[in-house]
Structure 1
Amino acid sequence: MRRLDVPSMDADLIYDAYAPIYERTGQDRFGAYLANLTLTWLRARQVAPRRALDLACGTGGATLALAAAGIDTMGVDRSPAMLRIARRRAQEVGLTVPFVAADMRHLENVEPAHAGCFELVTCFGDSINYLTDDRDLRQVFGGIRRVLSPGGYAVFDVNTEAAFARWDESDLVIFESDNCLVYNRLGYNPATRLGIGRIVWFVRGNKTLWRRGEETHVERAWSDAEIRQALADAGLEFVACLDVTGRILADDDLPERLIMVARLTRK
């Protein structure tokens, strides 16, 4: 496979223009699905969180699913455009949910008033893969540890290297309607373990005029061992790996997406 040059990515701008397309194409439904899967898995173990923090919440799919389940939930995201949509959606369904503009690597806007407060922290939509530096991974897990209450759970999903191996430089249409077309061009460099996703969309403004947009996203393929070590270094105990059906995975299983569960051990 051809090796890729990694383009510069302004993380403060990604999802800015794409936010309304993200909502329009229903991409946040997967976050809501993972939130409900998490609650089902926890309830089967007699765990009923009362307060939750949803990191990289985007347009609020998982956040609103947790809040609709009766959990006092806060959403955090760095994209103002995504948060505007999340706040509107919460208002539309009659849910009172605080949404905070913050980078999940720097939870200074959350930690002072909420240290040790949350019994569940979630982070979905392969947001962990957007942490391309080892220091960032540990910083996020350290922040999660500080806001978790003793015995609290952290649940997040990651794309595995098996998923990135399928990023083969082909164009993949992910949404198509009479008024909107979205396609991805995905590439992966196994030497750097970085995947580059070029998201391109066209939206019809009238019968003849189409508006084009584009963003480039960079993700890293973290290994299971790297994530477990970073969790341990942050003081979090690894609990389980699940697949997207909620099935507990054996150590030699490697699906394209893992759901990882960790816990802050009671002291």
Structure 2
Amino acid sequence: MTDPAALRVENVHWAPGGKPILRGISLTVEPGEIVGLIGPNGSGKSSLLRCAYRRQRPDRGVVRLDGADVWATPAMRVARRVAAVTQDSPADLENQVEQIVALGRIPYLGALGRLSDREKELIASAMTRCEVSHLARRVYASLSGGERQRVQLARALVQEPGLLILDEPTNHLDLRHQVELLALIGELGVTVVAALHDLQLAAAACDRLVVLHDGQLVAAGAPQEIVTEQLLAEVYRVTAEVSRGADGLPRLSLPLPTKATQPSKSAR
């Protein structure tokens, strides 16, 4: 089993074109911890994740993986410890699904390396766990959004990371696959940082929630402490009721939109 990684974000700022997106974010994720990033659209969740998996370099601050600055560490070495499933992976690839999943071994073999029997077994196992084995010979571009998401997760698992970064991993997934994916994440034994929109799923799947708003970290803690009516009002600008289930986790009751009543023909 891969040892779970430790992640530390220290006073990270990022302001492309002078527009502040991340404003002094500091965050520690312990080995084996599952941390959910929550917050409204545009709060900086994806940008923070990109800094963590070495996609974009912050203007100031440091991202440390197992104590080492990721930008002072060779990219291939970071790729052996960090795998990311992003929202912006290409959808038009003509490769077969099995070939996409095998890309997870590039940090170990290089682009032209030959797969060993053990690595072929690893690929088959990851595809089984993500329920994409039956798609092995399908062209990636022909898949639905949910199928592509599960293929990308299988590719990440084949990478054998110590840190798994997920940017909206439940996007495009039906309800069953959302629940199963988050259950799988909890079984991996690696460190996980995931940006999530569904607060109830985030509360159920994560050890701790971190709230971003306007590029700043505004709250962090156990799900039952974080998901409150006050948070929904101040950060999401939604008036909702929050109750607690038997497990102590929050249950949200959101106001539903009312359907406008059409005037009868006689009233026109």
TM above 0.5: no
Q: Which structure has the larger Rg over C-alpha atoms?
A: 2
User: TM-score normalized by structure 1?
Assistant: 0.32
More helix by share: 2
More strand by share: 1
**Structure with the larger RCO, 1 or 2 (CA within 8 Å, 6+ apart):** 2
